[in-house]
C-alpha cells in the first residue's frame, strides 16, 4: 500500500450502504470492480486471512488503493458495476463480449405488413419477435413464414412500384399483394396467423387451416383447398423439424456452464413463442480458475443489464446471489422471472442439450484452435501458397465430388473450408442431369461449369484452392473447364486415391504440369486435404441417397390394413407427405381425424 493510503482508516469509514467498489494497483489501473449491498462488510471481507480463492488473494496482494461509489439501491449498484466492467475491462473481472444488438424479426406496421430481419431499438411501428441467438435463426424463421404464410419481404420502394409478381410469387413464397393477387382481408388473416405461430400457437393455427381446407373441399373449391393443403403441409414439416417444443409457451432462456482445461464456456439457448431457436456459446476472458456458479452469475449480470429477461431462466448451476434476478428485473422494470436449476420434462431436455453443447464447444476450443491453424500453414507451405497469417485465415478451399448408384440419382457436392475450419452453411449440392448415366467426367464438367461460370462473370468468389476428388482424368476435365472460362488452373489439385483408399496414401495431381506429389501419411497438410475430401464424399453420398430414396419411394401406407384412400389423404395432407407421416409419433398420428389409437400404433410400427 502507498504511504498516503491508510487501509485501516479507509475501511473503518466505509458506510453500511449499497454501492460499487474498485480495486486499483500501484499504476492506478482498475483491477477489479464489484457491487455490494453493504460496502463496509463486502470490501472489508477482501482483507481477511481466509480468502475465497488463490486468484482473489493474488489480486488483493496488488491492491494499492480502493475507490467506492455509494448508490441509492443495490439495483443501481448493479447497473453501475456492469457499465464500469464493460468500459474499464478490469483484468480480474470475468468479461463477456458485449452482445447488445441481438437480432429480431420485425413485422412492420404497414397496411400490407412486411417481415424483415432487424437489429436495433424495438420502438418502431410494428411487432418485434425475439431476440434470436443469431442471424441464421431469424432468417430460418423468415423462410418458414414465406413458405407457410407467403408474407412479403420486399422493400417498400420495390413493393410500391411493381407491375407484375416477382419470382417469389412464382415459387410459392409470396402471395403478391403488390399487384393485388390477394385481398387485403385475406393477407391480414395470414399476417395474424403468422403472429400466432410466432407466439407459440402453431398447432391451433394448423387446426384452423385444416378446418378451412376441409370446408373448401366439401364446397368443391378445390383450388383453394389445394392451396390450404400445401400451407398445412409446410407448417407440419416445420413442427416436425422443431424437435424441442415448449408446451407451456413461456419464453425461456437456458444457460449452461462448462469448465475444463482452464477455459470456460457459457452456452445460451433461447426459446421464443414455443420454438427452440438454437444456442450460442460464449467464452469469457479472465475466468481462469473461477467456479461455474461465479461465471454463471457474471454472465447473467452482464447479459441481462442490456437484454430483456424472459419469464423463465433454466440454469445449470444455482446463482450465488439469490437476489440478482430480483435486482435485474427491478432495474429493467419488467415482470418477475423464475430461475429453475432442477427442471423437469421438456425443460430438462433443453438443459441437458445446452450442457452437452457447452461441453462440445469447449472441447473444440481447447483442441482445435492451435491444431487447425497449424494444419492450414502446413498445407500452404506444401503447395507454395501465401503463409501470411491473414492470408491463411482467409484461405478458402472448395472440394468437389460426384456420387451416384449405377448412374442413378447423380449428384455433385461442393464443401467449403475457410477460417481454418469446415463451413457447412456454405456447402452446396448440384443435381446432375442430361448426361449418360455413370459418366463421372461429364458430371464433373457440368458442376464445375455451373459453379465457376459465376466466378468468370464476377458474380462469385474465387477460392484459393480447388480440390477434385479424383486423379488425372478428373483433373484434366477441370483444367479444360477453367481454361475455357479463363481462370487460373494453378488453383486446381486432384486427390488421387491410394491403394485400398487408405488415408495417407493419396497422391496430389496438378493441372499445371507440376509432377504429382505424395505427401505421406504423417503430413499435416495431407490430413487436412483428406478431411476436406472425405467431407465432400460424405456430403455427396447423403445427398444422393436422399434423392434416390425420393425417386424410389412408393407409399407403404397402401399396405397397412385399415388405411383407405380417405385416411391416407388426410395423413399425407396433415404431415406434408410420406416422410412426415413416417416421422410422426403415435400421438401425432392419433390426432388425425379418423385415426384411432390402435390404428395409429399399427401405422407407426409398419413405417419403422
Cell output for 462: 474465387
- Report the pLDDT value the prediction gives residue 465, as an integer from 0 to 100: 94
**413-466 per-position pLDDT tens digit:** 899 999 888 898 899 988 888 888 888 899 999 999 999 999 998 888 899 999
Same domain, 410 and 528: yes
Is 313 within a domain?
yes
- Does residue 551 have a pLDDT over 50? no
Structural domain of residue 27, as residue ranges? 7-88
Using DSSP, state whether 500 is helix, strand or coil. Answer: helix
Among candidates 70, 51, 59, 67, which has minimal Cα distance to 10?
A: 67
Is 496 within a domain?
yes
- Report the pLDDT value the prediction gives residue 552, as an integer from 0 to 100: 46
- Does residue 84 have a pLDDT over 60? yes
Is 203 within a domain?
no
Same domain, 562 and 520: no
State how many domains the chain has. 4
**3-30 per-position pLDDT tens digit:** 567 888 888 889 999 999 999 988 888 9
Last residue in a domain, options 36, 68, 88:
88
Is 599 within a domain?
yes
- Does residue 510 have a pLDDT over 90? yes
Same domain, 569 and 463: no
- Report the pLDDT value the prediction gives residue 451, as an integer from 0 to 100: 93
- Report the pLDDT value the prediction gives residue 3, as an integer from 0 to 100: 57
Same domain, 309 and 410: no
- Report the pLDDT value the prediction gives residue 492, as an integer from 0 to 100: 94
**295-328 per-position pLDDT tens digit:** 999 899 888 887 888 889 999 999 988 888 888 8
pLDDT level of residue 604 (50, 70, 90 thresholds): confident
Q: What is the CATH number of the domain that holds 590?
A: 1.10.150.20
> How many beta carbons lie within 10 A of that of residue 3, not counting itself?
5
Q: What is the CATH number of the domain that holds 508?
A: 3.30.420.340
Cell output for 169: 410469387
pTM for the full model?
0.51
Do 464 and 499 contact (CB within 8 A), yes or no?
A: no
Strands 428-431, 465-468: pairing kind:
unpaired
- Report the pLDDT value the prediction gives residue 543, as an integer from 0 to 100: 64
- Report the pLDDT value the prediction gives residue 244, as an integer from 0 to 100: 46
- Report the pLDDT value the prediction gives residue 355, as an integer from 0 to 100: 92
Same domain, 560 and 540: no
Is 286 within a domain?
yes
Mean pLDDT, the chain, rounded, equals: 83
Residue 115 parent element (H or E): strand 115-118
Report in angstroms the alpha-carbon separations of 300 from 268, 307, 325, 349, 353: 10, 10, 8, 21, 19
Is 140 within a domain?
no
Same domain, 348 and 260: yes
Same domain, 291 and 395: no
Where is pLDDT greater, at 572 or 72? 72
> How many beta carbons lie within 10 A of that of residue 440, not counting itself?
21
Quote the CA–CA distance of 173 and 196 in Å, as a whole number: 19
pLDDT level of residue 554 (50, 70, 90 thresholds): very low
- Does residue 253 have a pLDDT over 90? yes
Q: How far is CA 95 from the centre of its chain?
A: 23
CB-neighbour burial class of residue 10 (10 A; exposed 0-12, middle 13-18, buried 19+): middle
Question: For the residues 467-490, what does the mean pLDDT come to?
Answer: 92
Same domain, 426 and 531: yes
- Report the pLDDT value the prediction gives residue 113, as an integer from 0 to 100: 92
Q: Is the dihedral of CA 175, 176, 177, 182 positive or negative?
A: negative
Question: For the residues 549-570, what does the mean pLDDT come to?
Answer: 69
Question: For the residues 45-50, what does the mean pLDDT come to?
Answer: 83
CB-neighbour burial class of residue 306 (10 A; exposed 0-12, middle 13-18, buried 19+): middle
Last residue in a domain, options 363, 378, 404:
363
Same domain, 404 and 537: yes
pLDDT level of residue 553 (50, 70, 90 thresholds): very low
Is 240 within a domain?
no
- Report the pLDDT value the prediction gives residue 2, as an integer from 0 to 100: 56
- Report the pLDDT value the prediction gives residue 585, as an integer from 0 to 100: 83
Same domain, 560 and 539: no
Q: Which residues, other chains included, contact 82 with Cβ-Cβ below 8 Å and sequence gap of 6+?
A: 301, 302, 305
Same domain, 280 and 316: yes
Quote the CA–CA distance of 585 and 560 in Å, as a whole number: 17
Same domain, 467 and 578: no
Quote the CA–CA distance of 475 and 429 in Å, as a whole number: 20
Cell output for 16: 453500511
Is 25 within a domain?
yes
Do 253 and 270 contact (CB within 8 A), yes or no?
A: yes
- Does residue 271 have a pLDDT over 70? yes
Last residue in a domain, options 88, 105, 132:
88
Where is pLDDT greater, at 288 or 483? 483
Q: How far is CA 266 from the centre of its chain?
A: 15
Amino acid at each position: 500500500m502507498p504511504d498516503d493510503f491508510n487501509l485501516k482508516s479507509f475501511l473503518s469509514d466505509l458506510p453500511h450502504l449499497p454501492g460499487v467498489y474498485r480495486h486499483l494497483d500501484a499504476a492506478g489501473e482498475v483491477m477489479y470492480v464489484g457491487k455490494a449491498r453493504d460496502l463496509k462488510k463486502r470490501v472489508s471481507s477482501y482483507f481477511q486471512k481466509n480468502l475465497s480463492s488463490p486468484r482473489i488473494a493474488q489480486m488483493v496482494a496488488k491492491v494499492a488503493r480502493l475507490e467506492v461509489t455509494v448508490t441509492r439501491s443495490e439495483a443501481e449498484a448493479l447497473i453501475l458495476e456492469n457499465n464500469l466492467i464493460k468500459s474499464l475491462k478490469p483484468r480480474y473481472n470475468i468479461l463477456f463480449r458485449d452482445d447488445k444488438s441481438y437480432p429480431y424479426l420485425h413485422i412492420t406496421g404497414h397496411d400490407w405488413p412486411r417481415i424483415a430481419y432487424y437489429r436495433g431499438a424495438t420502438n418502431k411501428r410494428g411487432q418485434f419477435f425475439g431476440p434470436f441467438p443469431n442471424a441464421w435463426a431469424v432468417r430460418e424463421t423468415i423462410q418458414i413464414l414465406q413458405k407457410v404464410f407467403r408474407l412479403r419481404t420486399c422493400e417498400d420502394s420495390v413493393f410500391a412500384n411493381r407491375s407484375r409478381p416477382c419470382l417469389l410469387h412464382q415459387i410459392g413464397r409470396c402471395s403478391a399483394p403488390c399487384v393485388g393477387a390477394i385481398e387485403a382481408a385475406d393477407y391480414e388473416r395470414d399476417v395474424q396467423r403468422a403472429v400466432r405461430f410466432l407466439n407459440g400457437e402453431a398447432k391451433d393455427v394448423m387446426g384452423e387451416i385444416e378446418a378451412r381446407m376441409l370446408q373448401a373441399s366439401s364446397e368443391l373449391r378445390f383450388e383453394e383447398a389445394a392451396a390450404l393443403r400445401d400451407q398445412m403441409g409446410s407448417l407440419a414439416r416445420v413442427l416436425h423439424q422443431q424437435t424441442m417444443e415448449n408446451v407451456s409457451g413461456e419464453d425461456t432462456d437456458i444457460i449452461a456452464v462448462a469448465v475444463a482445461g482452464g477455459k470456460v464456456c457459457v452456452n445460451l439457448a433461447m426459446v421464443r413463442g414455443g420454438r427452440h431457436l438454437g444456442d450460442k456459446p460464449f467464452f469469457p476472458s479472465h475466468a481462469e480458475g473461477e467456479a461455474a456458479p461465479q461465471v454463471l452469475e457474471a454472465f447473467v449480470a452482464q447479459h441481462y443489464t442490456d437484454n430483456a429477461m424472459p419469464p423463465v431462466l433454466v440454469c445449470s448451476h444455482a446463482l450465488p446471489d439469490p437476489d440478482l434476478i430480483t435486482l435485474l428485473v427491478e432495474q429493467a422494470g419488467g415482470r418477475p422471472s423464475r430461475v429453475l436449476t432442477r427442471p423437469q420434462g421438456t425443460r430438462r431436455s433443453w438443459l441437458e442439450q445446452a450442457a452437452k453443447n457447452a461441453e462440445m464447444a469447449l472441447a473444440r476450443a481447447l483442441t482445435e484452435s492451435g491444431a487447425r491453424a497449424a494444419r492450414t500453414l502446413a498445407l500452404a507451405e506444401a503447395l507454395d501458397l501465401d503463409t501470411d497469417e491473414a492470408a491463411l485465415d482467409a484461405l478458402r478451399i472448395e472440394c468437389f465430388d460426384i456420387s451416384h448408384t449405377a448412374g442413378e440419382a447423380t449428384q455433385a457436392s461442393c464443401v467449403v473450408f475457410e477460417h481454418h475450419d469446415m463451413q457447412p452453411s456454405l456447402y452446396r449440392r448440384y443435381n446432375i442431369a442430361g448426361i449418360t448415366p455413370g459418366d463421372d467426367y461429364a458430371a464433373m464438367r457440368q458442376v464445375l461449369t455451373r459453379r465457376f461460370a459465376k466466378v468468370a462473370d464476377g458474380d462469385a468468389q474465387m477460392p484459393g484452392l480447388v480440390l477434385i476428388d479424383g486423379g488425372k482424368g478428373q483433373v484434366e476435365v477441370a483444367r479444360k473447364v477453367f481454361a475455357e472460362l479463363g481462370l487460373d488452373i494453378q488453383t486446381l489439385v486432384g486427390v488421387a486415391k491410394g491403394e485400398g483408399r487408405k488415408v495417407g496414401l493419396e497422391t496430389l495431381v496438378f493441372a499445371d504440369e507440376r509432377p504429382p506429389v505424395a505427401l505421406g501419411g504423417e503430413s499435416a497438410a495431407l490430413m487436412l486435404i483428406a478431411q476436406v475430401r472425405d467431407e465432400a464424399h460424405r456430403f455427396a453420398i447423403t445427398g444422393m441417397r436422399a434423392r434416390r430414396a425420393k425417386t424410389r419411394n412408393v407409399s407403404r401406407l397402401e399396405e397397412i390394413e385399415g388405411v383407405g384412400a380417405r385416411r391416407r389423404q388426410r395423413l399425407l395432407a396433415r404431415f406434408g407427405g410420406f416422410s412426415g407421416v413416417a416421422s410422426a409419433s403415435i400421438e401425432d398420428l392419433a390426432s388425425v381425424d379418423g385415426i384411432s389409437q390402435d390404428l395409429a400404433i399399427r401405422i407407426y410400427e409398419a413405417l419403422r
